[in-house]
Structure formats: structure tokens, C-alpha cells
Amino acid sequence: MTAHIIDGNAIAAEVRREVATGVTSLLAAGGEQPGLAVVLVGNDPASHVYVANKVRQTDTVGMRSFRYDLPADVSERDLLSLIGRLNADDAIHGILVQFPLPQHIDSRRVVATINPEKDVDGFNPLNVGRVATGMMDVLTPCTPLGVMRLIRSVHDDIAGLGALVIGASNVVGRPMAQLLLEAQCTVSIAHIRTTDLAARCRQADILVVATGVPDLIRGADVKPGATVIDVGITRVDQPSGKSRLVGDVIFDEAVKVAGAITPVPGGVGPMTIACLMANTLSAARAAAA
């Protein structure tokens, strides 16, 4: 048996089309054009690529983008003061500060300063608490939101299924577990220190792997017919001198065992920015209500 390969590029395009239609309806109803502020601190090359993509896609779906490039040595006070101005600006409905931030800046203080109603990353403690208490019509972290959409593309109902999330980060693992719990899965959270990881994987109907450890999960670790979502994306050098992107799951093995699986690249990756667009539209709709 070969698994159904979940096409993240196609599903992300579907989400962007829905957002573009939503923007048109909002404008037709007299609402304001949604605006997203993207703040980039320093020169991390990967962050530059992500931010350029976020800005481009914001424009593509008919929203306004506002990009702020700050030097790596910007003071925390100046960054917080910019966020204060963005919080007060009615043309801006979403604020995203790209991570990682330089060491001298306290990331927790930064996310706590973003107005929760403009927190399109869903990282502000108020939004984290809302999701943890089962409030689902709130701004929710983009990658887990995207993963749920991918899972729902192959399952009508996941209530009662066993889900294992590997990785306990604030950006993916923890909110992912909350969303699966809210969908009435029986959820476990594991991480790279978990003992008997392979045996636990083999029990999971839905396996979400988000560790950043390439090739952590083998085909033999996957329950036959399971849905496997690979959030990991790591660039590795090859003997040929070229590099390639790999996930946390050995795809060529797992595809022979799983019922459905996401590839890397082209699985979860495209969903994150598409869901950022959806969150920005949600924030703009809430501001117009």
C-alpha cells in the first residue's frame, strides 16, 4: 500500500483563495482593507526569506503589508515602542515580529506587548490561555492551524482517534496538542527525551512530528494506515555538495506504511503563511464588527 500524499501547496492555495474572497466581501460590506505589519530584526537569512514571502502573499490576497526592518542592535525599548505604535494604528489589524530575535531582546516581553487582538501569530499569553481553555474562535498559532486543515483534508471526523505530537514547543507542539484535544482526539505529547518513542508512535492514528531532528521517525515506527504530518524542515548537505530539505520522518519508508502523509517540502510549510493570511483577515473582521 502507498499512502495518499497530502498536497500542502494545493491546500494552501485553497486557503489563500478563501482569504482573497473574504477580503473582497469585507470591503464590499464597507470594512477596511486588512493590514499586516511584519517586523524583522537583524540579518538572519532564513528570516529574510520568510518575511519576504509573508509580505508578498499579504499583497497577493488583497491585504496591505507594512514591513519594518530594524538593525540587529536595535534596543528592546525601541522595538517595544514600535509595537506600541502599531498597536495604536487603526490601519494595522495584524502584527508579526519574526523570530528568532537577537539575544539581548526578551521575546516573551515582545509577544506580551502585542495587542492580543492583533496577535496573528497567536503567541501572546492571553491567546495561548484562550486556546488552552478551549476557545477556538481566537487567534491561534499558524502552523498548528495549518496542520489541522491538512488532517481535515483526509478525515471527516477525528474524534476518538489517538494522536501523538512529538515536540513540545510553544510555536507548534503545545498548541497542536490543544487543537487535537479540542477535536476530541486522545492526545499524547512526546519529545526527544521520551522513552519508547517508536512504540508510542506505532499506537498513533495521527502522528505529528515537530522536532527538527532529520530522519527521527522510520517507516517501522508508523502504525499501518496512520496519518503522518511532518512539520520538521532541515537543510542538510549531501555528499554531492548540494543540499536538500528533509523532514523528521523518513518519507520513502513511511509512505509505504501510512494511510496519508505530508511531504517535505510541499506539506506543512506552505500552510503556515496561508494561515497567517487567514488570521489577519479574522483580526480585521473582528475589528470591523
| Selection from 51, 110, 125 nearest residue 76 by Cα | 110
- 86 is an interface residue for ligand GUN by CB under 6 A: no
- 171 is an interface residue for ligand GUN by CB under 6 A: yes
Residue type, 87: N
Q: In the annotation, is 33 catalytic?
A: no
Looking at 60-68, 94-102, 155-163, 180-188, which segment touches ligand GUN (CB under 6 A)?
Answer: 94-102
Burial annotation 40-78 (CB, 10 A radius, 16+ → b, else e) = bbbebeebeebbeebbebbeebbbbbbebebeeebeeee
Is 169 flagged in the annotation as binding? yes
Looking at 82-90, 96-104, 198-206, 236-244, which segment touches ligand GUN (CB under 6 A)?
Answer: 96-104
- Find the residue with minimal CB distance to ligand GUN: 99
Taking CB under 6 A as the criterion, the residue among 3, 37, 95, 96 binding ligand GUN is 96
- 120 is an interface residue for ligand GUN by CB under 6 A: no
Looking at 24-32, 95-103, 158-166, 182-190, which segment touches ligand GUN (CB under 6 A)?
Answer: 95-103
Residue type, 20: A
Q: Which three cell numbers stand for residue 22?
A: 473574504
Element (H, E) at 88: helix 76-88
Instruction: State the number of CA atoms in the 13 A half-sphere of 166 facing the CB.
Output: 33
Q: In the annotation, is 205 catalytic?
A: no
Contact in structure between 148 and 185 (CB atoms under 8 Å): no
- 142 is an interface residue for ligand GUN by CB under 6 A: yes
Residue 71 has φ and ψ, to the nearest 5°, of: -70, 155
Taking CB under 6 A as the criterion, the residue among 121, 221, 230, 248 binding ligand GUN is 121
Nearer to ligand GUN, 205 or 248 (CB): 248
Q: In the annotation, is 121 catalytic?
A: yes
Instruction: State the number of CA atoms in the 13 A half-sphere of 120 facing the CB.
Output: 31
Nearer to ligand GUN, 165 or 171 (CB): 171
DSSP string, 170-197: TTTHHHHHHHHHHTT-EEEEE-TT-TTH
- 190 is an interface residue for ligand GUN by CB under 6 A: no
Taking CB under 6 A as the criterion, the residue among 98, 115, 227, 280 binding ligand GUN is 98
Nearer to ligand GUN, 227 or 272 (CB): 272
Closest approach of Cβ 263 to ligand GUN, in Å?
A: 19
Reduced to 3 states (helix: H, G, I; strand: E, B; else coil), residue 161 is: coil
Tell me which residues touch ligand GUN (CB under 6 A).
96-99, 121, 142-143, 171, 272
Catalytic residues: 54, 98, 121
Binding site as annotated, residues for NADP(+): 167-169, 192, 233
